[in-house]
Amino acid sequence: MDPETQWRDVDSYLVAETVAEDDALVAARASAREHGLPPIEVAPNQGAFLSFLAQVAGARRVLELGTLAGYSTIWLARAVGPHGHVTTVELDPRHAEVARQNLDRAGVAAHVDVEVGPALDVVARLADTGVEPYDLVFLDADKASMPAYLDLAMRLVRPGSVIVGDNVVRGGGVADPGSPDPGVQGVRGFLHAIGTDPRLEGTALQTVGSKGWDGFAVARVR
Ligand code: SAH
Ligand code: DHB
Ligand code: MG
């Protein structure tokens, strides 16, 4: 059996044993396919992992960049609880529309704001408006701008806040310093900042599974 098939089989097993996806989460993934959105939402066990992080961090306010169909948003919105809040930012109005339907069906629409626009603009505006700090920030929009997103996010966090970055391994591409892929270069800048910014401590982990070979970075604001 080729490794990718094994990764997939093991992911299916892990999800079957440990992840309780309800109808709304299943429907969110299905609706993404029906509307022709790319199949790049976090895997079910990754959604559960985001929820786990938000809960151990005691997060009440979450900022997500990159909504797609709202699949990860639902996990995060449930993790912050009915008194929590999620702001999620999406460039594509079609994605945002699909996400709003999915958030509604999941019963979390009342405590999620879907902001439509380029994440750089939206997050800069949030920072300039002086919103309350976020307890957890999930960076999952375009990868080329990851260093800029981290810079902006630093204006919107407090000591103890958690920053999570998705797709930081990119099939191994991240280890190539000369990569012409702007996504790889963005992720490399992001990881370098996590390792060198005295305001942060964090690391990155590789993952294999139904989304191939990739990884998460996690950082905590000192
Ligand atoms: N977090 C989602 C997946 C996000 S996929 C989940 O796991 O369920 C990445 C999303 O980022 C796409 O919907 C894409 O349209 C959006 N995106 C790309 N560039 C962006 C930008 N500059 N600003 C905001 N969103 C962006
Ligand atoms: C892509 C984006 C993602 O956020 C992801 O988890 C996987 C793939 C992409 O743009 O290809
Ligand atoms: Mg991603």
Please write the tens of the pLDDT for every residue from 138-179. 999 999 999 999 999 999 999 999 999 999 999 999 999 999
Distance, CA 167 to ligand 2 centroid (Å)?
7
Number of domains in the chain: 1
In degrees rounded to 5, what are phi and psi of residue 178? -95, 10
Nearest CA to ligand 2 atom 9: 40
Q: Which of 50, 89, 167 to mutate for ligand 2's pocket (most ligand atoms within 8 Å of CB)? A: 167
pLDDT of residue 166: 98
pLDDT of residue 98: 98
Total residues belonging to the chain: 222
Q: Is 17 exposed, middle or buried (0-12, 13-18, 19+ CB in 10 A)?
A: exposed
Does the CB atom of residue 208 touch ligand 1 within 6 A? no
The amino acid at 201: E
Q: Global pTM?
A: 0.98
Q: Which atom of ligand 2 is nearest to the CA of 68?
A: 4
pLDDT of residue 181: 98
- 207 vs 86, 121, 143, CA distance in Å? 25, 31, 17
User: In terms of Cα–Cα distance, which of 144, 151, 146 is closest to 180?
Assistant: 144
Please write the tens of the pLDDT for every residue from 38-69. 999 999 999 999 999 999 999 999 999 999 99
Which CATH number characterizes residue 148's domain?
A: 3.40.50.150
Does the CB atom of residue 186 touch ligand 1 within 6 A? no
Residue 19: domain span:
3-221
Distance, CA 104 to ligand 2 centroid (Å)?
24
Chain-centre distance for alpha carbon 198: 23
Please write the tens of the pLDDT for every residue from 169-220. 999 999 999 999 999 999 999 999 999 999 999 999 999 999 999 999 999 9
- CA 27, 102, 61: angle at the middle one, nearest 5? 125
